[in-house]
A and B are shown apart, each in its own frame.
Chain A
Amino acid sequence: MRNLLVSLKKIYKNLTKDTGMYSEVQREIDEQEVEVQGEYEEDSSQVLLVSPIPRDKQRQIRGTKLQFFERLDYNLGLIRERIPDKNLIFEKFVVGSRGKRVVVIAYLKDLAHPGIVKEVKQRIKQIKAETVLDSSYIERNIENSRLSPFPQLEHTLRPDMAELALFKGKVLILTAENPEVLMAPTTFFDLMDAPEDLFGRWFVAASFFRIARFIMFLLAATLPGFYIALTSYNPDLIPTKLAFLIASANEGTPFPIYFEAFLMMGVVEAVRMIMIRFPNEMGSTIALFAGVVLVIAGLHANIIGAPIVIIVTLTIITSFGIPSFDLRLSVRITQFFTMIMATVLGLFGYAIAFFYIAIHLVTLKSFGIPYMSPFAPIEGSGWGHDILREDIKAMPLDETYKASTKNLEKEKGEN
């Protein structure tokens, strides 16, 4: 590992020598990086302990096991090593009146849209805080809508994903002492994207799983609400056999269906929190045990009906099909919203909830990019890599954020 870092340092030093085209700010950060590189030699044992351990949030099937970690210089070096390109630009900012946290943005000058880069810089400069404890502080201060439940920036620990983002024309935001790299702008379809889609061999399978993921998203966001609406207000729309089964299962249960649904969803949230808070595998076991015992006891005591258990379990399973943790959280909120609307106004309420969520999604933007792009607005050229995965030999890239050279020239002319 030490060898890796030494070679990384050499490569990085060579690259930082090529400062002919960089701005003053660029040179400044390069100098700082070279200085910090020196620290590696003095205290590299610190680096050895943490850098190679993959901190997986998700199981990784293919791709590099290297990850970003707390050292900004290391993270920048990692990016520079992957893209030894003169168009790769780093720009440094210091955020926090007292904490003085260094924030660096990275982008490919020929691919990133100048308007987006400018916007990112402006928003970072406008942050007013005493210190930046985490990259999430940066995130919440620069995103378009803080009230929105939907995340407007993506974060990653993986250098390959960061590289992909750069080639998509996105801007990376790296924060000192923080391993999470933010990527801007971000659309809904970026958040539904899993690395396996890109690295998977067969494009048909990748497309299939992507579509499955979208269906799972819809189910996760709306299934309990839909069930409440149908059973409580319009049972006539349920197939007869199924309606009888649901009715017989709920016979004798003391609570109305909507209450059962809220109760079960609450239990699931509690179990989820146990799993996060407990320090090791024991937490999962306890959470699982508690959940199973509660459900079995509830069913045996006839306090809850079996159909709602199926619905809630299905909702939870499908919600885990969503790759982004932040998006999963927002889906949980929308679940409750659709449930409340369906409880109060049945199918109509469900439809209204659906409209409201859709309205929010179409009015939301991330650094000028419509959040639902390339679906709304429909951008046919983006469907092959954002919604499905087209059959290409090269790595599928995104054109959504890319400004072609032609456009840049035009914009220069306009200015």
Chain B
Amino acid sequence: MVKKMRDLVKDKFDVRVIITVIYMTMVEFELFNFAQTVVNIAGNAAWISIILGTIFVSINTYILSKLALRFPDENFFEYCQRIWGKTLTRIIAVGYFLYWFSFISLLLESFSKANQTLFLHETPLIVPLILLILGAIWLVAYGMAPIIRFFQLMLLFVILPLLLLIILSIREIRWDSYLPILGNGIIPILKGALFYGGVFQGLEIILFITPFLNGRKKLIKMSLIGVNITSLMSLILATISIGILGVQGIKESIWPGMDTVGIIQLPGFLIERYELFLTMPWLIGIFTTICIFLYLLAYGIVQVFGCQFRKGIIFAVGVLAVAATYFCPNLAWLMKMRIGITYVTFVFGLFIPLLTLLVAVVKKQKGSEVNE
């Protein structure tokens, strides 16, 4: 991808890297949930909701890419100051910080609960949390370029096990689970599609990554490919889950992904239990998502408030996010909050960038031209 040695030295990436970044940012708990909430809303027609939701997400991606391309050498907070003014930018930024902070804390708490159930039944929850956040702090301290390289390195370890699971699970599908189509009418499907649109937390990374990219003319195309590949994987996993567990099974399950994989049987094959093939991509997905949000949060604070101690801020934010997990009373509350934050995503992932774009167009404000 990177053709020029100079770019390697200066840590510039080909625009195609956005596909990897979007996928690795989005993948986290969906791997265990397999779009459970969408199934809860839309029933066995959840796959239609996902397809419709993908159209919505694609439009969202287009808007974000357009805005990013208008100011290709700056990140969102930089050009926001010119568009909205300093005070308003600070208010918007604080909103983003709270949103990202809440998301990281919820993600850490979800991880901690899953980790206790799956791996470390008796270890105090704080131990794995600290180890995970220390890794994230370490990576984020080096900046965006190593984060992207980490994503690229891990991509293979996420994609390959998932592809294997998809192939193996096809023979377990009961095709009658998808019938009747549109049994509950069109409204649940549309509601499901709307919800699915909010699942793409972190899509705003497009607004912050552009200065690190070469060949930015292709940004829109590559971002759309990234979003659609992510959505395709989500569609396949949700469809398989419906086919294997059925709508009722998914509703009753805590982690439909794990239950779906647990059913896979392939006599004579080397492996008997396939949960490991899901837990590995899941752990990687959680870690990469935490890293990118921690980056956005810490570097955002440093940039907007002009803080000097970048590493100190990263560390403080990471530690605070872990501390915030102690305010979560139980799993039910956590689930509720996760669904709630999905709707908040529309504000920060769509409305604010859309408004910013509109104002920039009206005011005829733009950054440097994209020449590559």
Contact = CB atoms under 8 A, between A and B. Distances in A.
Interface of A: 113, 115, 169, 233-234, 236-240, 345-349, 351-352, 355-356, 358-359, 361-363, 368-370, 372-373, 375-381, 399-404, 407, 411
Given A239-B272, A239-B273, A346-B120, A362 B6 contact: no
Interface residues of B, number: 42
Nearest to A341: B131
Contacts of A375: 152-153
B119 A407 contact: no
Contact of B273 (A236, A345, A399, A407): A236
* 4 nearest CB pairs, A to B: A368-B9, A362-B149, A376-B149, A376-B152
Contact of B146 (A363, A373, A378, A411): A363
Contacts of B280: 351
Interface in B136-186: 138-139, 142, 146, 148-150, 152-154
A84 B126 CA distance: 64
B146 A362 contact: yes
Interface string B1-20: 11111101100010011001
Given A345-B131, A372-B153, A411-B6, A351 B283 contact: yes
Contact of B275 (A115, A237, A348, A372): A237
B295 interface: no
Given A346-B119, A352-B131, A355-B135, A377 B271 contact: no
- Taking each of B128, B132, B149, B276, which has the highest tally of chain A beta carbons within 10 Å of its own beta carbon? B149
A111 to B, nearest CB: 10
A378 B2 CA distance: 7
A319 B119 CA distance: 29
Contact of A376 (B5, B128, B150, B271): B150
- Taking each of A377, A379, A399, which has the highest tally of chain B beta carbons within 10 Å of its own beta carbon? A377
B270 interface: yes
Contacts of A376: 149-150, 152-153
- Taking each of B119, B272, B273, B284, which has the highest tally of chain A beta carbons within 10 Å of its own beta carbon? B119
Given A233-B119, A358-B154, 20 more contacts: A113-B6, A115-B6, A237-B273, A238-B273, A239-B271, A345-B119, A345-B120, A351-B283, A352-B131, A352-B135, A356-B135, A359-B139, A376-B150, A376-B153, A378-B16, A378-B20, A400-B5, A401-B5, A402-B5, A403-B5
A377 B5 contact: no
Contacts of B20: 378
21 contacts: A234-B119, A237-B276, A239-B272, A240-B272, A345-B128, A352-B128, A352-B131, A355-B284, A356-B135, A358-B150, A358-B153, A359-B135, A359-B138, A359-B150, A362-B149, A376-B149, A377-B17, A379-B1, A379-B3, A403-B6, A411-B6
A236 B280 CA distance: 16
Contacts of B142: 363
B279 A347 contact: yes
Nearest to B288: A355
A240 B272 CA distance: 8
A351 B20 CA distance: 21
Nearest to B273: A237
Contacts of B8: 368-370, 373, 377, 379, 400
Contacts of B17: 377-378
Contacts of A361: 153
Given A362-B149, A377-B148, A407-B6, A239 B120 contact: no
Contacts of A349: 131
B123 interface: yes
A236 B279 CA distance: 14
B338 to A, nearest CB: 22
Given A355-B135, A359-B150, A363-B142, A345 B283 contact: no
Contacts of B127: 345
B287 to A, nearest CB: 6
Nearest to B154: A358
Nearest to B119: A348
A369 B9 contact: yes
B32 to A, nearest CB: 15
B311 to A, nearest CB: 13
A407 B4 contact: yes
A403 B2 CA distance: 12
Contacts of B2: 377-379
B115 interface: yes
A113 B272 contact: no
Nearest to A403: B5
Nearest to B120: A348
A399 B7 CA distance: 13
A352 B132 contact: yes
- Taking each of A345, A351, A381, A407, which has the highest tally of chain B beta carbons within 10 Å of its own beta carbon? A351
B275 to A, nearest CB: 6
Contacts of A400: 5, 8
- Taking each of A345, A400, A403, which has the highest tally of chain B beta carbons within 10 Å of its own beta carbon? A345
Contacts of A239: 270-273
Contact of A362 (B1, B4, B128, B153): B153
Contacts of A381: 1, 3
B270 to A, nearest CB: 7
A377 B17 CA distance: 9
A370 B13 CA distance: 12
Nearest to A230: B276
A369 B131 CA distance: 29
B132 to A, nearest CB: 7
Interface string B316-345: 000000000000000000000000000000
B245 to A, nearest CB: 20
Given A237-B275, A407-B6, A377 B13 contact: yes
Contacts of A399: 5
B156 to A, nearest CB: 9
Nearest to A352: B131
A149 to B, nearest CB: 16
A135 B8 CA distance: 27
Given A348-B120, A407-B6, A355 B287 contact: yes
B73 to A, nearest CB: 17
- Taking each of B2, B280, B287, which has the highest tally of chain A beta carbons within 10 Å of its own beta carbon? B2
- Taking each of A237, A380, A381, A402, which has the highest tally of chain B beta carbons within 10 Å of its own beta carbon? A237
